[in-house]
């Protein structure tokens, strides 16, 4: 086997001397003859959910050394979902591009990807798909459950719930602030079935995580054990030349979609899976999510769709126990990073708590998945998560109340004179990839205060942005094309009647065709669109694609491989 790193280190010429001399630093004499394994680490104090990954990296290093490799920790771009403004999604593609480039540019033969917070695992997988070096993911794991007033707190989900109770007047602001110190009990990412948990589990279903590891709580010692084992596997991947492009197929994405439905996962997984598939050249579309996932039962009773939290999920048997229940829906040919099919790991995967993980005969919901809607409001598609919606609103007809930007929404939503009632449909635009820019998690709009005070807790909401995976409600999101890209959402006016029919997969505005064709966006709509002059935002707005294809940059589609043609000296 000829190692890729030998292009840097082999030989007795001057350039090889330089590469070796600067990296020797006390290493063993045969260090440059061994597989060089990068550990792409997204640990950062400003990404609190990933701050513990440096400890995880040490276990990975130990496993790499034990297996005969050389571990090389490589800090990569880290995006903290709760901290980064205007939205972490603006930089997902940049993080993927930067990670791809540093992996390609350096003398590494394989990589272990350490991620946790929402955008880190997607960006790492996009990078790995594009550079196509042997790669394996170690998810950072969820936090343990905190409690407040004797009640478990769902990280994220209960922020939305408690803040609405304050606005409704049923919870004091003092009590709300007191809950803050109880929300985050330990290291790790959100403990609900939000985007971080979803992407870790979906990454395992894709085959990029050692089966049985995703969902292990961050403080659990078994995560370090798994990290050690994964470090050893990374060396094996190099010797076997097992790269993402050799095992990530359409069958892998089929299994990821089944998993997404069965766990009641985040809608954000759709845009991330589409982007990863785009890097691999796998033909994945929005319709695949509806076709494959819509008939899959939701078996996991976790917030925001259910009651429990991620440490309960791990205790109850974890992902493999879920997949055993839907084994007949999985593609048996899809292989994993270990070289074996995913289904090989399901024989000994019992459910230990049937309240948390339901059996196939007693699902949380008979039909889960994510529904793809189309119509004159979303000709290229929009999403809704029925498991997080109110059943009585899944077929609804109501008058639109339109907001041209997030700022417009916050300025007017609690105005007592706002012409809105419980049957209204809240419409927020200017929040797509180009318009914001970056497609923020604002689609789950807070309800008008005067309706909250009357006991209303859900309304139909429509937006070209995204929704936090920890959120809930009857929200139509990822509307494509977005308003800023010429989508019909820009033409909707307050007072128009919007007709939602999830069973029929339709979202339409009841406006005569001739009037609809004659409309143009108003000045208030277009003035809210972003128009950056320089830097990444300029590049992003000029090249970002729409949500229905993954919101990647147009010039990043496909793979460039790992070859570097020129030396540095």
Written as tens digits, the pLDDT of the chain (569 aa) is 799 999 999 999 999 999 999 999 888 889 999 999 999 999 999 999 999 999 999 999 999 999 999 999 999 999 999 999 999 999 999 999 999 999 999 999 999 999 999 999 999 999 999 999 999 999 999 999 988 888 888 887 788 788 888 888 888 888 888 888 888 889 999 999 999 999 999 999 999 999 999 999 999 999 999 999 999 999 999 999 999 999 999 999 999 999 999 999 999 999 999 999 999 999 999 999 999 998 899 999 999 888 999 999 999 999 999 999 999 999 999 999 999 999 999 999 999 999 999 999 999 988 878 999 999 999 999 999 988 899 999 999 999 999 999 999 999 999 999 999 999 999 999 999 999 999 999 999 999 999 999 999 999 999 999 998 777 899 999 999 999 999 999 999 999 999 999 999 999 999 999 999 999 998 777 777 878 889 999 999 999 999 999 999 999 999 889 998 788 88
pLDDT at res. 414: 95
531: left (phi over 0), alpha (psi -120 to 50) or beta: beta
Q: Which of 457, 539, 389 is nearest to 161 (CA)?
A: 457
Residue 526 CB: number of other CB atoms within 10 A?
Answer: 16
pLDDT at res. 535: 95
The Cα–Cα gap between 508 and 498 comes to 6
**Is 525 within 8 Å of 490 (Cβ atoms)?**
yes
Per residue in 477-487, pLDDT (tens digit) is: 999 999 999 99
CATH assignment of 371-549? 3.50.30.80
**Is 119 within 8 Å of 90 (Cβ atoms)?**
no
Q: What Å distances lie between residue 425 and 35, 470, 493, CA to CA?
A: 57, 22, 11
**Is 399 within 8 Å of 425 (Cβ atoms)?**
yes
Peptide bond between residue 481 and the one before it cis (omega within 30 degrees of 0): yes
504: left (phi over 0), alpha (psi -120 to 50) or beta: alpha
Per residue in 470-510, pLDDT (tens digit) is: 778 999 999 999 999 999 999 999 999 999 999 999 999 99
Peptide bond between residue 565 and the one before it cis (omega within 30 degrees of 0): no
Render the burial of 475-511: b for 16+ CB within 10 Å, e for the rest: bbbbbbbbbbbebbbbbbeeebebbbebeebbbbbeb
**Is 472 within 8 Å of 393 (Cβ atoms)?**
no
pLDDT at res. 68: 97
pLDDT at res. 568: 82
pLDDT at res. 274: 98
Element (H, E) at 72: strand 70-75
> Domain coordinates of the chain in residue numbers?
34-145+185-345, 146-183, 371-549
DSSP 319-334: HHHHHHHTGGGS-TT-
The Cα–Cα gap between 38 and 54 comes to 13
Name the token pair of 24: 């020797």
What 3-state DSSP class applies to 41? Answer: strand
């Amino acid at each position: 086997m000829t190692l890729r790193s030998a292009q840097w280190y082999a030989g007795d010429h001057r350039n090889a001397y330089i590469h070796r001399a600067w990296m020797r630093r006390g290493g063993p004499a045969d260090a440059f003859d061994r597989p060089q394994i990068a550990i792409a680490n997204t640990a950062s104090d400003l990404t609190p959910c990933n701050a513990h990954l440096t400890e995880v990296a040490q276990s990975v290093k130990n496993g790499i050394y034990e297996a005969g490799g050389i571990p090389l920790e490589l800090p990569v771009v880290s995006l903290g979902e709760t901290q980064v403004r205007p939205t972490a999604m603006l930089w997902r593609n940049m993080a993927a591009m930067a990670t791809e480039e540093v992996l390609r540019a350096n003398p590494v033969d394989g990589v272990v990807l350490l991620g946790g917070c929402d955008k880190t695992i997607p960006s790492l997988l996009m990078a790995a798909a594009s550079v196509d070096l042997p790669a394996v993911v170690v998810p950072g794991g969820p936090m343990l459950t905190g409690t407040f007033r004797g009640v478990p707190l769902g990280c994220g989900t209960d922020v939305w719930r408690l803040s609405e109770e304050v606005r409704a007047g049923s919870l004091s602001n003092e009590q709300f602030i007191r809950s803050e110190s109880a929300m985050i009990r330990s290291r790790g990412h959100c403990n609900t079935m939000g985007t971080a948990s979803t992407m870790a589990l979906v990454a395992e279903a894709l085959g990029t995580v050692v089966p049985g590891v995703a969902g292990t709580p961050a403080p659990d010692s078994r995560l370090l054990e798994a990290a050690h084992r994964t470090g050893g596997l990374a060396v094996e991947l190099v010797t076997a030349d097992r790269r993402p492009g050799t095992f990530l197929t359409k069958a892998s994405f089929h299994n990821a979609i089944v998993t997404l439905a069965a766990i009641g996962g985040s809608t954000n997984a759709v845009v991330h899976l589409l982007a990863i598939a785009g890097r691999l050249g796998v033909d994945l579309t929005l319709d695949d999510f509806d076709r494959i996932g819509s008939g899959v039962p939701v078996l996991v009773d976790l917030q925001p769709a259910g009651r429990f939290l991620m440490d309960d999920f791990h205790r109850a048997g974890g992902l493999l126990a879920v997949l055993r229940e839907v084994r007949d829906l999985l593609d048996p040919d899809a292989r994993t990073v270990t070289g074996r099919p995913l289904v090989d790991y399901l024989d000994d995967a019992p459910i230990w708590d049937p309240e948390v993980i339901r059996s196939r005969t007693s699902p949380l919901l008979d039909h889960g998945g994510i529904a793809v809607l189309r119509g004159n409001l979303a000709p290229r598609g929009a999403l809704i998560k029925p498991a997080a919606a109110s059943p009585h609103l899944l077929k609804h007809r109501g008058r639109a109340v339109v907001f041209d930007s997030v700022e417009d929404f916050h300025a007017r939503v609690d105005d007592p004179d706002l012409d809105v009632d419980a049957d209204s449909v809240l419409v927020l635009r200017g929040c797509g990839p180009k318009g914001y820019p970056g497609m923020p998690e604002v689609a789950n709009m807070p309800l008008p205060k005067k309706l909250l005070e009357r006991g209303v807790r859900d309304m139909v909401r429509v937006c070209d942005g995204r929704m936090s995976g920890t959120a809930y409600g009857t929200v139509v999101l990822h509307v494509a094309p977005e308003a800023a890209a010429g989508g019909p959402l820009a033409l909707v006016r307050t007072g128009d009647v919007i007709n939602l029919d999830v069973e029929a997969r339709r979202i339409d505005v009841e406006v005569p065709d001739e009037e609809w064709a004659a409309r143009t966006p108003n000045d208030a709509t277009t003035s809210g669109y972003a128009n950056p002059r320089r830097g990444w935002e300029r590049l992003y707005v000029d090249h970002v694609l729409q949500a229905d294809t993954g919101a990647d940059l147009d010039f990043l589609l496909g793979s460039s491989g790992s070859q570097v043609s020129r030396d540095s000296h």
